[in-house]
Amino acid sequence: MKDLLTIHDLTTEEVEDILSLSAELKEKQKNRQMDCPLIGKTLGMFFEKPSTRTRVSFEVGIYQLGGQAIVLPVSDLQIGRGETIADTARVLSRYIDAIVIRTFEHKIAEEWAEHASIPIINGLTDMHHPCQALADIFTIKEKKGRLKGLKLVYIGDGNNVAHSLIEICAKTGIDISLACPKGYEPDKKIVKSAIEDAKKHGSRIEILSNLQKAAKDADVLYTDVWASMGQEKEHKKRLKIFKDYQLNKKLLKIASPDALVMHCLPAHRGEEITGEAMEGPNSVVFDQAENRLHTQKAVMLRLMAAL
Ligand code: CP
Ligand code: NVA
């Protein structure tokens, strides 16, 4: 694997390898066992959308592995004045060892990957958020001790986070039920190819509009914002459309009593999730956020160590 653009590009074995390496790295970090496998390596960070978790966890992660990060603000690069991605990617490949990209259209990340000779890591596009899904599944495994046979219920918008979750559930044998308002279901092509993967691993993907039906016996309840970055103008309209798709106490009663409450964050309390669900005993949202650090360190090691 040269890049990490989507979960679909990974094999199940690669996902499992990242999960076990993440556990090892987390343990080492807890015991303050510092080795520096990425000494002398530089991670570039090209972000066209805001970020708290992705940006900080990658930056801290590369430092902990002995390397360094360099933030590449669009406004400071010649790309802001029209230099092409193809040229920029080739030039930066001569200085830097990997780049995390957060951008809008997924094909922009693909264009970087096509022209760069170094790994390109997708730190979120409009269609995918693979680093998030790896941390999510790692968190579920940590809390539940297994993945196969669990039921994850995703509530709300069929967006980038939902797409990567569908793909990772299909690869790891988790059943996923999505409850989305009509017209806001996940991308058909992504679902179709995930169904093929799911068949191989004995899991199911279902897309419903009835939230209560979807949430029955859930082992994990997962939600994300109703309006993603870039959809700010639709926020008001979406408030109405999504109003019944909330992760709250009522929904927790339908799920398994020990269901995990998950959210990729940032959260909008009172919209897709209640404050009560976020802060309640089932919530693992801050462990989930922490695990971004450990799983991304594993991703960097696998992509950058051999360079
Ligand atoms: N979950 C996530 O990717 O958060 P940030 O937007 O803060 O990076
Ligand atoms: N779906 C959200 C995720 C943020 C981490 C967005 O794209 O804004």
| DSSP string covering 162-206 | HHHHHHHHHHHT-EEEEE--TT-PPPHHHHHHHHHHHHHTT--EE
The closest residue, in CA terms, to atom 4 on ligand 1 is 53
User: What own/partner pairs with CB < 8 Å and gap ≥ 24 does 279-282 have?
Assistant: 280/249, 280/252, 282/221, 282/252, 282/258
Q: Which of 3, 157, 219, 224 is catalytic?
A: 224
- Which ligand is located closest to the Cα atom of residue 135? 1
169 included as an active-site residue: no
- Closest approach atom of ligand 1 to CA 52: 7
225 lines ligand 2 (CB under 6 A): yes
- If you measure from the C-alpha of residue 53 to the centroid of ligand 2, how many angstroms do you get, rounded to a whole number? 11
51 lines ligand 2 (CB under 6 A): no
Per-residue pLDDT of the chain (307 residues; tens, 9 = 90+): 899 999 999 999 999 999 999 999 999 999 988 889 999 999 999 999 999 999 999 999 999 999 999 999 988 999 989 999 999 999 999 999 999 999 999 999 999 999 999 999 999 999 999 999 999 999 999 999 999 999 999 999 999 999 999 999 999 999 999 999 999 999 999 999 999 999 999 999 999 999 999 999 999 999 999 999 999 999 999 999 999 999 999 999 999 999 999 999 999 999 999 999 999 999 999 999 999 999 999 999 999 996 5
Hey, which of 47, 48, 49, 52 would you mutate to test ligand 1's pocket, going by the most ligand atoms within 8 Å of its Cβ? 52
Domains of the chain as residue ranges with CATH = 12-128+291-304 (3.40.50.1370), 132-288 (3.40.50.1370)
132 included as an active-site residue: yes
Look-up: residue for tokens 């039920």? 177
Look-up: residue for tokens 């950058």? 304
